[in-house]
Amino acid sequence: MLEEIKRTAAFIKAQTNDFTPEAGIVLGTGLGGFADRIETSYTLEYKDIPGFPVSTVEGHKGRLIFGEIEGRRVVAMQGRFHYYEGYTMQQVTFPIRVMQQLGIRYLFVSNASGGINTSFRVGDLMVITDHINLMPNPLIGRNIAELGPRFPDMHNCYDRDLIAAATRIAEEENIKLQYGVYVGGTGPTFETQAEYRYFKAIGGDAAGMSTVPEVIVARHMSIPVFGVSVITNCGLSDEVGDHEDVQRQGRKAGVKMEQLFKRMIKELK
């Protein structure tokens, strides 16, 4: 796998004139509009990148965008890959491995999720403080020592310094933040109410079908992570959710997320 990661990174470097991003950004369902805020230097379609899967989910455009935000070099995934699409966990997390080879020092992840915490409302931004993984672990299999240790520690999985910076910036920008634990499940079914009650009982505040594998792999490689969930529906209500509504709510709340991400990226050390 390491050889394939390096081959893909070499291909991308050749296509982008050795562009070296400081931060990687993963844009979830309905949040791809953030890519429009990037002063784009290069765009690569996933289908044209050796080794990359192709995103099959509506709301995930499927391209890597290289450019600058507030003078800082970034690479953004406009659309991610999910276990429920039939990909292996190694395929789902392959782009994070490649971004590390390209030079990222920070990873920003976002997703649309169902609220479990009853104090949350549709449109809230939840800063992810921890996660509960209910998917196969992407590190199962032979460990590649060059990438990280066999038994990586997942304490401080979501970087405390980045969370503190987000809190300060949100106060300055008058952005309301929630904080909580993200439960990552396989999907593609939306959760039953019994499952939501279970997630609440085990300590979850929001639930979704992504993000956790990417974060595990990033931490395996010692990359600091900051994550945000956009609450697009309230799972313990009687409302019936659908993917179109998730995209719509994601786009609306994404404006606040864009503002937060831009300031945080600008102030990276």
Token pair listed for 214: 């990417």
What backbone torsions phi and psi does residue 79 show, to the nearest 5 degrees?
110, 140
Q: How many CB atoms lie within 10 A of CB 149?
A: 12
The dotted CATH code for 2-266 is 3.40.50.1580
Q: What is the pLDDT of residue 232?
A: 86
Q: What is the pLDDT of residue 249?
A: 61
Give the residue-averaged pLDDT of 135-162. 96
pTM, two decimal places = 0.92
Q: Report yes or no: 213 and 134 within 8 Å, Cβ to Cβ.
A: no
Q: What is the pLDDT of residue 55?
A: 72
- Look at residues 159, 208, 158 and name the one whose alpha carbon lies nearest to residue 29: 208
Q: What is the pLDDT of residue 247?
A: 62
pLDDT of 246 > 70? The answer is no
Q: How many CB atoms lie within 10 A of CB 117?
A: 19
- First-residue to last-residue Cα distance in the chain: 31
User: Each residue of 192-217: pLDDT tens digit?
Assistant: 989 999 999 999 999 999 999 999 99
- Look at residues 80, 62, 116, 112 and name the one whose alpha carbon lies nearest to residue 249: 112
Q: Which ranges constitute the DSSP H helices of the chain?
A: 2-15, 89-102, 160-173, 193-201, 212-220, 243-266
Q: What angle do CA 98, 104, 105 make, to 5 degrees?
A: 135
